[in-house]
Chains A and B, each alone.
Chain A
C-alpha cells in the first residue's frame, strides 16, 4: 500500500481517536472514561505511525499531514466524523462497526507487499484485539436494546462506506447486516468535520511550527 491508502487509514484513526476522546470525563461511568480515553490514545498512536510511513514517501512529516491540510483534503470516512456525544448507543454501535471493519482491512494489510506496511499492520492488530473485545462485550450487554438496534441500522450505511467494495460482503456477513445497502462512501465529508478540524488544528494554526 502506498501513501493515499495509508492516509485513508491514518485519517480514520486520527478523527475517530479525536471523537473517542470526547467521552473523557463524561462517559456513563468511570471505567468507560478510562476505556474510551485509552482507545483514543491507541487510535491516535496508530495514526501517527501510519502518517510517518506516508510522510516518508511524500517527503513531509507526520505532523504536517495530520494538522496542516485543509478539511477537504482529509481522506477520512464519514462514519468517523459524526459527533455522537452524548449518544452512548450510537457510540457503541459505531465502535463495534468500526472495529469489525478495521479488523478486516488490517487483516488484508498484514499480507501487503510492502514489508514495512505489513509489519505495522500486524503491530496495530495486537492492540486492536483489545478494542474488539471491548466493543463485543458492550454489544453482548446491550444486544437486545432497541436503542442499540436503531443505532446500528442508522450507522450501517456509513460503516459500509469505510471499506473498499471487495471487502464489504465479508463485513456485512460478520456483523449480520445487509450487504446491498447504499453506502455513505469515503470521498464526501459530513458537516461535522470542519468544527472538529478547527478544534484539532487550533494550536498548530495559532503558532505555526510549534513543537511540544
Chain B
C-alpha cells in the first residue's frame, strides 16, 4: 500500500541531476504529496525557471513513484513558493561538505550587490570569510563564483533567491 510517507522517503532518494550530493527533498522542490486510491499527486515547484534539470527531476519522480506501484501525477507549480531558504539544514551541510558554499539566508528586500561584494560568505574548503566575488554567474543559473583569499581556491557559491 502506497502511503505519503513512503512517497516522501522514495523522493528523498532521488539525487538532484546537477548537484547529485543532495536529494530533491533536501532541495525543497517537493511541496506536497497526496495519495488517493493508488494515485499519487505531487506538487513540484521549480528552482530556477530556465533550469534544464526540471524535466529530469519531474521524470525521475514519476519513474520512482511508478516503482512503488502507483500512478504519479506531477503538478508543476509556477508560483513564488520556492526560495533557497527551502533547502534543508541537511541539504546545506551536504552542499558544504562537497565544496559548494550553501546559500545565505534571504534577507528582507532580497540580495544586493553590496552583500555579494562583502565578506559574508564562507569558503567551503577552509572556512575563511576572506572571500571575493569573481562572477555573479557560474556554471548553472543557481551558482556564483567566488575566490578564497586564505586558501587561494575558487569555489561555487549557491545564489540566494
Contacts and interface: CB of A to CB of B under 8 A. Distances in A.
Contacts of B161: 126-127, 129
Contacts of A46: 49-50
Given A31-B134, A123-B49, A129-B111, A38 B141 contact: yes
Nearest to A133: B113
A52 B78 contact: yes
B83 interface: yes
A130 B159 contact: yes
A13 B20 CA distance: 30
A48 B78 CA distance: 11
A41 B50 contact: yes
Interface residues of B, number: 27
Interface string B42-70: 00000011111000000000000000000
17 contacts: A31-B134, A35-B135, A38-B137, A38-B138, A42-B50, A45-B49, A45-B50, A46-B50, A53-B78, A116-B79, A119-B78, A123-B78, A123-B82, A127-B161, A129-B110, A129-B161, A137-B136
Interface string A31-64: 1001101110111111011001100000000000
A134 interface: yes
Task: Give the secondary structure class of B's interface.
Answer: loop
Given A43-B50, A45-B48, A137-B113, A130 B78 contact: no
A44 B50 contact: yes
Contacts of A84: none
Contacts of A45: 48-51, 141
Interface centre among B51, B135, B139 (most CB of A within 10 A): B135
A34 B137 contact: yes
Contacts of B145: 31, 34
Contacts of A123: 49, 78-80, 82
Interface string B127-142: 0000000111111110
A148 interface: no
Contact of B136 (A43, A116, A122, A130): A130
Contact of B79 (A34, A38, A119): A119
A127 B141 contact: yes
Contacts of B136: 35, 130, 133-134, 137
Contact of A39 (B134, B137, B140): B137
B91 to A, nearest CB: 18
A120 interface: yes
